């Protein structure tokens, strides 16, 4: 476990070329005083990286040392990557049933999409619950939710200490903004995790508006995955934009449209305590942008459950990790973007999204916890 709360990160000196490249990248787009430059900015060739120093204006987030190869995630593993994703967990019996479901699926890692204990001062107890169910060294990889980002229902700085990064090669601010290639060598998936739309301890939201440093960081991470010919790109965050749930476009239309324009394969969110999965969406003729609160048929690229790689983006809210359920709004104007959903008032369930990626195919399915029956499945395949 790393040092006491608030410890600053040690920063290794960067090569001169990397410093010059990172400086040029940020010229002309400096953030306001409350929005420091993000850490770990990649370029298309990934030859540059920005400083990972935490500033007084940024939540102090601890970057754990790369622990080396973890069980089930290595360059020598079979050519598939298997992970789960869920947010909005809590510490009750339903949360424990979902963790039991994850354990039974035996994934190589799990993406925790924010909102963990829902109780201040319970971080260690939450971490112990996860470790008991999944194993002390299991890669349960965190991105903050709004309940721990500002410390009022737990503190992300404490969660990243007791559930540290277990994946080799992670770059960025673990817990807030980071990416990792899995496996580290000859990767099949780049996972990019960001934190738009939620307040931190200074009361400010991180800026993911168009051409902001964090928007550019995310865009560069996506572009670099394509430059490396990594088969699949998955972006995760706590907040959604497209939504038929309690919360609307919290993540912001700028970030959302950039991910669709770049044809990210899969975008994962929580925040709404429900499951919501869209059709495959794409920009093009008749759909220059997704507009929150409206529907455009021209933005729907594929409406069945078998989709083509590179044709568009699927959004999946997987917020059924164990906290109390939210209803879905079946009269919402955006509902025609969605293929299926589960919430308090329709096919109520708890469970996790289960994803397996091979070089040519990504298979995803919602797996219900014991006592629930709702299911969903879809594929994205190179054709």
Q: For residue range 219-278, list pLDDT tens digits in order.
A: 999 999 999 999 999 999 999 999 999 999 999 999 999 999 999 999 999 999 999 999
Higher pLDDT, 66 or 89: 89
Higher pLDDT, 17 or 204: 204
Q: Is residue 96 part of a domain?
A: yes
Closest of 366, 340, 364, 370 to residue 352, by C-alpha: 366
* Mean pLDDT value across residues 356-373: 97
Specify the CATH number for the domain of residue 354: 3.60.21.10
Percent of the chain with pLDDT over 70: 80
207-223 residue pLDDT tens: 999 999 999 999 999 99
- From 69-78, 111-120, 321-330, the region with the lowest mean pLDDT: 69-78
Q: Is the pLDDT of residue 59 over 50?
A: no
- What average pLDDT does the structure give for the chain? 86
pLDDT higher than threshold 90 for residue 381: yes
Q: What is the mean pLDDT of residues 80-98?
A: 98
Q: With cut-offs at 50, 70 and 90, classify the pLDDT of residue 5.
A: very low
Q: Is residue 313 part of a domain?
A: yes
Does the structure show a pLDDT above 80 at 128?
Answer: yes
Q: Is the pLDDT of residue 6 over 80?
A: no
- Asked whether residue 333 carries a pLDDT value surpassing 80, the answer given is yes
Please give the pLDDT value at position 78: 54
Q: Looking at the domain assignment, is residue 10 inside a domain? A: no
Quote the pTM value. 0.83
Instruction: Give percent above pLDDT 90 in the chain.
Output: 79
Asked if the structure places residue 3 within a domain, the reply is: no
Give long-range contacts, CB 8 A cutoff, 24+ apart: 201-205.
201/59, 201/149, 201/150, 201/151, 202/34, 202/57, 203/150, 204/34, 204/35, 204/57
Q: Say if 193 falls within a structural domain.
A: yes
What is the domain extent for residue 317?
A: 16-381
pLDDT digit string, tens, across residues 23-43? 333 333 333 333 443 444 444
| Predicted confidence (pLDDT) at residue 103 exceeds the cutoff of 60 | yes
Tell which wins on pLDDT, 324 or 77: 324
Instruction: Decide if 67 is inside a domain.
Output: yes
Higher local confidence (pLDDT), 72 or 255: 255
Number of domains within the chain? 1
**In this predicted model, which residue has the larger pLDDT, 208 or 58?**
208
Lowest mean pLDDT among 75-79, 103-107, 134-138: 75-79
- Within-domain flag for 74: yes
pLDDT digits 0-9 by tens, 298-313: 999 999 999 999 999 9
Structural domain contains residue 1: no
| Secondary structure in 3-state letters for the chain | CCCCCCCCCCCCCCCHHHHHHHHHHHCCCCCCCCCCCCCCCCCCCCCCCCCCCCCCCCCCCCCCCCCCCECCECCCCCCCEEEEEECCCCCCHHHHHHHHHHHHHCCCEEEECCCCCCCCCCHHHHHHHHHHHHCCCCCEEEECCHHHHCCECECHHHHHHHCCCCCCCCEEECECEEEEEECCCCCCEEEEECCCCCECCCCCECCCCCCCHHHHHHHHHHHHHHHCCCCEEEEECCCCCCCCCCCCCCCCHHHHHHHHHCCCCEEEECCCCCEEEECEECCECCECCCCCCCCCHHHEEECCCEEECCCCEEEEEECCCCCCCCCCCCCCCCHHHEEEEEECCECCCCEEEEEEECCCEEEEEEEECCCCCCCEEEEEECC
């Amino acid at each position: 476990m790393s040092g006491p709360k608030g410890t600053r990160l040690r920063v290794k000196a960067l090569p001169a070329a990397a410093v010059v490249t990172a400086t040029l990248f940020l010229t002309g787009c400096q953030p306001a005083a409350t929005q420091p430059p993000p850490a770990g900015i990649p370029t298309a060739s990934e030859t540059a990286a920005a400083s990972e120093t935490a500033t007084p204006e940024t939540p102090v987030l601890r970057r754990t040392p790369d622990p080396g190869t973890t069980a089930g995630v290595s360059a020598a593993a079979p050519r598939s990557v298997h992970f789960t994703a869920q947010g909005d967990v809590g510490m009750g019996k339903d949360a424990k049933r979902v963790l039991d479901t994850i354990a039974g699926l035996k994934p190589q890692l799990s993406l925790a999409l924010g909102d963990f204990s829902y109780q201040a001062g319970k971080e260690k107890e939450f971490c112990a619950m996860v470790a008991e169910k999944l194993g002390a060294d299991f890669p349960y990889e965190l991105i903050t939710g709004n309940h721990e980002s500002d410390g009022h229902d737990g503190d992300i700085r404490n969660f990243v200490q007791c559930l540290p990064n277990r994946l080799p090669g992670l770059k960025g601010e673990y817990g807030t903004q980071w990416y990792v290639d899995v496996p580290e060598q000859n990767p099949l998936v780049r996972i990019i995790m960001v934190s738009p739309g939620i307040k931190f301890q200074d009361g400010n939201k991180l800026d993911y508006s168009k051409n902001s440093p964090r928007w550019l960081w995310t865009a560069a991470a996506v572009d670099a995955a394509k430059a490396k010919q990594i088969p699949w790109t998955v972006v995760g965050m706590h907040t959604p934009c497209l939504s038929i749930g309690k919360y609307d476009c919290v993540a912001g239309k700028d970030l959302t449209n950039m991910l669709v324009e770049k044809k990210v394969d899969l975008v994962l969110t929580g925040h709404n305590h429900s499951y919501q999965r869209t059709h495959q969406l794409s920009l093009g003729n008749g759909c220059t942008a997704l507009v929150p609160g409206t529907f455009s048929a021209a933005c729907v690229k594929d409406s069945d459950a078998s989709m083509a790689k590179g044709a568009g983006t699927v959004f999946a809210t997987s917020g059924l990790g164990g906290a109390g359920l939210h209803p879905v709004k079946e009269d919402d104007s955006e509902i025609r973007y969605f293929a299926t959903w589960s919430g308090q008032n329709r096919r109520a369930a708890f469970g996790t999204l289960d994803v397996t990626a091979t070089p040519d195919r990504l298979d995803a399915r919602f797996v219900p916890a014991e006592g629930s029956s709702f299911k969903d499945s879809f594929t994205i395949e190179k054709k």
